[in-house]
Structure 1
Amino acid sequence: MSAERDILVSDDVRVIIEIVNYVVICGGVSIFGTVANSINIIIFFRQGLKTTMNISFFGLAISDLCGLFLLFWFTIFLNPWVENSQLPLITREFQYLVVGWPYECFSRISNLITAFVAAERCLSITYPLKVKRIITRRRATAVVCCIYGIMFLSLLPEYATSYIDWKFYAPKNDSRLGLVFTKNRKSMEGLVFILNAFLGALSYLLVVMFTAVLMWKLKHNSAWRNKTALYSGEQSLALKRDRKAMSMVLMIASVLVVLSSPSVMCLSVTFIVSDFSILGFYTNIFFTCWSFAFTASSVKSSIDIFLYYKMSSKYRKTFLELFSK
Structure 2
Amino acid sequence: MYVHSTEEENTTRYPALEQMTDNPFHLWEDHSKDSSILTLASGILSEKQFYIIFLFLIFTSQVINNCAIIASSLSIAVFVKLGFSEPSNISLTTLAICDFTLAVLLTWNNLCFWLTYHNVPLPFHAVNVTFLTGGAQWVFLRSTIAWITAFISFERCLCILCPLKVRRLITPKGTFVAMLIIILLTFCPSFFLYMRYKFVWVFNPYLNITILNTLPVNSELAILFEKISFLLCGVIQPVLAFLIVLICTVVLVVQLKKISSWRLSVTSAKSLRIQPEENRAAGSSAAEARVSQKEERLVRMVVAIATIFILSYIPTCIMLLCYVVFDEFNLFGVYSRLFIVSGYIISLGQPISGSVNILIYYKMASKFRSVFRRLVRLDRLEQERHEL
Q: CA contact under 8 A between 1:128 and 1:239: conserved in structure 2?
A: no
- Look up the equivalent residue of 1:93 and give its one-letter code: N
3-state SS in 2 of match to 1:177: strand
Q: Which moved more, 1:294-303 or 1:65-74?
A: 294-303
For residues 258-297 of structure 1, the aligned pairs below 5 Å read: 258-297=311-350
Report the equivalent of 1:16. Answer: 52
Q: Could you tell me how far 1:319 is from its partner in structure 2? A: 1.2
Q: CA contact under 8 A between 2:144 and 2:187: conserved in structure 1?
A: no
Q: CA contact under 8 A between 1:262 and 1:292: conserved in structure 2?
A: no
In structure 2, what is the Cα distance between the partners aligned to 1:84 and 1:261?
36
In structure 1, what is the Cα distance between the partners aligned to 2:71 and 2:113?
24
3-state SS in 2 of match to 1:41: helix
Report the equivalent of 1:308. Answer: 361
In structure 2, what is the Cα distance between the partners aligned to 1:136 and 1:316?
24
Report the equivalent of 2:174. Answer: 139
Report the equivalent of 1:27. Answer: 62
The number of residues matched between the two structures is: 324
Q: CA contact under 8 A between 2:157 and 2:248: conserved in structure 1?
A: yes
3-state SS in 1 of match to 2:124: coil
- Which of 211, 220, 223 is the matching residue for 1:186? 223
Report the equivalent of 1:240. Answer: 293
Q: Could you tell me how far 1:189 is from its partner in structure 2? A: 3.5
In structure 2, what is the Cα distance between the partners aligned to 1:181 and 1:245?
48
Q: Which moved more, 1:219-228 or 1:99-108?
A: 219-228
- Look up the equivalent residue of 1:210 and give its one-letter code: C
Report the equivalent of 2:16. Answer: none
Q: CA contact under 8 A between 2:121 and 2:207: conserved in structure 1?
A: no
Report the equivalent of 1:201. Answer: 239
Residues 228 and 48 (structure 1 numbering): CA distance in 2 closer, same or farther, change over 3 Å? farther
Q: CA contact under 8 A between 1:88 and 1:176: conserved in structure 2?
A: yes
Report the equivalent of 2:43. Answer: 7
Residues 272 and 169 (structure 1 numbering): CA distance in 2 closer, same or farther, change over 3 Å? farther
- Look up the equivalent residue of 1:218 and give its one-letter code: L
- Which of 73, 86, 97 is the matching residue for 2:132? 97
In structure 2, what is the Cα distance between the partners aligned to 1:86 and 1:245?
51
In structure 2, what is the Cα distance between the partners aligned to 1:79 and 1:15?
11
Encode CA deviations 1:54-97: one digit per residue, 9 max, x unaligned. Answer: 11111111111111111111222233744743213111110111
Q: Which has the larger radius of gyration?
A: 2
Residues 223 and 129 (structure 1 numbering): CA distance in 2 closer, same or farther, change over 3 Å? farther
In structure 2, what is the Cα distance between the partners aligned to 1:116 and 1:228?
32
User: Please, what is the CA RMSD of the aligned residues?
Assistant: 2.7
- Which of 141, 150, 153 is the matching residue for 1:118? 153
In structure 2, what is the Cα distance between the partners aligned to 1:51 and 1:263?
31
In structure 1, what is the Cα distance between the partners aligned to 2:308 and 2:348?
14
| Residue 69 of structure 1 pairs with residue 107 of structure 2 | no
In structure 2, what is the Cα distance between the partners aligned to 1:257 and 1:161?
32
Encode CA deviations 1:191-244: one digit per residue, 9 max, x unaligned. Answer: 233323322323333322322332343346778767978854765433221111
Stretches of structure 2 lacking an aligned partner (at least 5 in a row) = 1-35, 268-280, 381-388
3-state SS in 2 of match to 1:167: strand
Residues 287 and 106 (structure 1 numbering): CA distance in 2 closer, same or farther, change over 3 Å? closer
Residues 224 and 127 (structure 1 numbering): CA distance in 2 closer, same or farther, change over 3 Å? farther
3-state SS in 1 of match to 2:329: coil
- Percent identical: 25
In structure 1, what is the Cα distance between the partners aligned to 2:63 and 2:375?
24
3-state SS in 2 of match to 1:116: helix
Residues 179 and 203 (structure 1 numbering): CA distance in 2 closer, same or farther, change over 3 Å? farther
Residues 276 and 155 (structure 1 numbering): CA distance in 2 closer, same or farther, change over 3 Å? closer
In structure 1, what is the Cα distance between the partners aligned to 2:146 and 2:169?
22
The alignment's TM-score, normalised by the length of structure 2, stands at: 0.75
Residues 201 and 167 (structure 1 numbering): CA distance in 2 closer, same or farther, change over 3 Å? farther
Residues 305 and 185 (structure 1 numbering): CA distance in 2 closer, same or farther, change over 3 Å? same
In structure 1, what is the Cα distance between the partners aligned to 2:214 and 2:304?
40
Stretches of structure 1 lacking an aligned partner (at least 5 in a row) = none
Residues 297 and 78 (structure 1 numbering): CA distance in 2 closer, same or farther, change over 3 Å? farther
The alignment's TM-score, normalised by the length of structure 1, stands at: 0.88
Encode CA deviations 1:161-180: one digit per residue, 9 max, x unaligned. Answer: 43322135577676431223
Q: Which moved more, 1:133-142 or 1:167-176?
A: 167-176
